[in-house]
Amino acid sequence: MFWNHSIEGHNITFDGIPFIVSSIRKQHCQFGEQYFKGKTSSTSSRTRLQGTRKVGCPAHIHVHELTLFPSFAVSIHYPIGSRKMKETKATKMSALKLILLTGKEVETTTKYYVLLPTVQAHGNYHPTSGLAGFAQRVHPKITEKINTLVGEGITELQEVKRALKHCYTLSIPRSQRSSM
């Protein structure tokens, strides 16, 4: 149990409420390092048609989930290093530990702290503006056709796929199909 905490050098300041860190997650950029190794089994009937989007980007986010105990809060009107503050914090902490060990219900609140990377943290591994994050470009005629279909009220996936397939084979020349 804590009164304050640090996430990668960024402090969660003392606000008078004790808490525990319920979970810590570190999530990598979608263009980060490849962490799953491909299976080398020769019995696999599936062939990978596309490569991976992983390019080794070092950026990641930290998500800390904190469970707060507001009924055991101490007044922050005391000076932080004062003896009275230390005694009050010790008393509240021991009472909270005793209640948690006995298994009694305690009022809790959940708080999430998220530390996001800067654009510079991504380095020059991949684009970080505009259309960043999209794996493939879509031909403008396909985008136009989807907007037209949705405008006409056609939103069922199978119907949209069928209409796109029909539009694709009729309106886009074969020479441009391979570049999509």
pLDDT above 70 for 176: no
Domain shared by 25 and 84, yes or no: yes
Are 97 and 117 found together in one domain? yes
The amino acid at residue 149 is: L
Task: Looking at the structure, tell me whether residues 92 and 28 fall in a common domain.
Answer: yes
Contacts of 108 (CB under 8 A, 6+ apart): 67, 68, 69
Is 14 in the same domain as 79?
Answer: yes
Give pTM, 2 decimals.
0.55
pLDDT in tens, 102-125: 988 889 999 888 888 888 888 777
Contacts of 38 by beta carbon, 8 Å cutoff, 6+ apart: 48
Question: Between the CA of residue 99 and those of 6, 36, 70, 75, 89, what are the distances in Å?
Answer: 26, 43, 14, 20, 15
Task: Name the band, by pLDDT with cuts 50, 70 and 90, for residue 55.
Answer: confident
Within a 10 A sphere around the Cβ of 72, how many other Cβ atoms?
21
**Tally of domains in the chain:** 2
Domain assignment present for residue 6? The answer is yes
Q: What is the pLDDT of residue 129?
A: 67
Pair 109, 159 in one domain: no
What is the chain's mean pLDDT, rounded?
A: 78
**pLDDT (mean) for 83-95:** 86
Mean pLDDT over residues 139-151, rounded? 84
Mean pLDDT of all residues in 40-61: 70
Residues 30 and 112 occupy one common structural domain: yes
pLDDT at res. 49: 64
The whole-angstrom separation of Cα 37 and Cα 40 is: 9
Average confidence (pLDDT) over 19-42: 75
Residues in CB range of 87: below 8 A, 6 or more apart: none
pLDDT at residue 137 greater than cutoff 70: no
